[in-house]
Amino acid sequence: MAKTDIPQLSKRERQIMDAIYRRGRATAAEVRAEMPDAPTYTTVRGLLRILERKGHLRHEEKGTRFVYSPSLPRQAAGASILSHIVRTFFDGSAASAMAAMLGSSERSLNGAELERLSELVKKERRKMGKRNRKPEARAR
């Protein structure tokens, strides 16, 4: 899956991806065991093949079983999806997206999360400062 591809996943496909990300790798039977109100084993196998065709999963054969693993680490997949959301719903503004997240009443941040965000903002400001310096100022 290319970094800019946006996964179009059904509810069941998301459940399967969640199970595989939690486990790291899994067979169809292991995935099915983790799914709420699990569909048939045959349905799970079919969905795994679809996810593999879409580029979200890959498999290796272990005897007669296929063992599936994600094509991208969870963080990379999440970053790609988040980038798409920011472009689509917030006109590309990370600040607007963050303001919406912070203004959400669903969950408040704890001290460690606020500190991490603060450090990320400081780091980004330092990078901006380096980019905005004039070339002759860097040479000195």
By 3-state DSSP, what share of the chain in percent is helix, strand and coil, each rounded to 5? 60, 10, 30
pLDDT in tens, 76-122: 877 877 888 898 899 999 888 888 888 776 777 788 988 998 898 89
- 20 class by beta-carbon count within 10 Å (0-12 exposed, 13-18 middle, 19+ buried): buried
Query: Could you tell me which CATH number the domain at 11-70 has?
Result: 1.10.10.10
Q: Nearest 5 degrees, angle CA 79-CA 84-CA 88?
A: 150
Which residue is associated with the tokens 């580029």? 55
pLDDT value for 31: 97
pTM: 0.62
* Enclosing H/E stretch for 61: strand 57-62
- What pLDDT score does 138 carry? 52
Please write the tens of the pLDDT for every residue from 52-71.
999 999 999 999 999 999 99
| Per-domain boundaries in the chain | 11-70, 74-136
- Tell me the two tokens of residue 40: 């048939």
